[in-house]
Amino acid sequence: MHSTDTQHRPRAAPLALNKPEREPKPLGFTALRQWLRHRHPMILLDRIVDHEPGKFLEALLSISGNLDCIAGHFPERAIYPGSHLIQAFAQAGIILYQMSTSMLAEDELTLVGSVESRFLQVVVPGDQVLLRLQVSRLAGGLFIYTGKAMVGNRRVAAFRASLIRAKVSELGSPLW
């Protein structure tokens, strides 16, 4: 046999045609509720589109003109409040934090350490906002993450935040 014989050459792997490297891992509304202590009307996320613990999470938020926050913000030109986008980003971060570590124990809660936000365009009724979060740092009890809010191919906001988990008993005498 000659050295140019194809029998001894490794075969090239077949090309994957439009196949994602991995299948998305979605969570519906009922499943995502298990990761949050929030309840109606404070759960702002509708669905987790995809996630990978310790790396990223993508969540969907659908904006309806029937939302109470839209009625007064503003009656003449409905705009989804930026504070609600921050809250949705925090909720998605809480889910990613727990998925990357462990679920909160009954006597634990998450506290937001800081939030930096930048709003680039308004969000209005009919928009579907895709929140894309990435883990920046996870060390000890500190969780730092960044993200952006997209409507279609438009970036409407950017965020950076930190979370910690704390035992309720360590926060002093509860007022509730």
Quick check: 69 and 80 in contact, CB under 8 A? Answer: yes
- Partners of residue 149 on adjacent β-strands: 131, 157
* 148 CB burial (10 A radius; 0-12, 13-18, 19+): middle
Quick check: 30 and 3 in contact, CB under 8 A? Answer: no
Residues annotated as catalytic are 73
Q: What angle do CA 154, 157, 161 make, to 5 degrees?
A: 145
- Partners of residue 47 on adjacent β-strands: 60
CA 92, chain centre distance (Å): 3
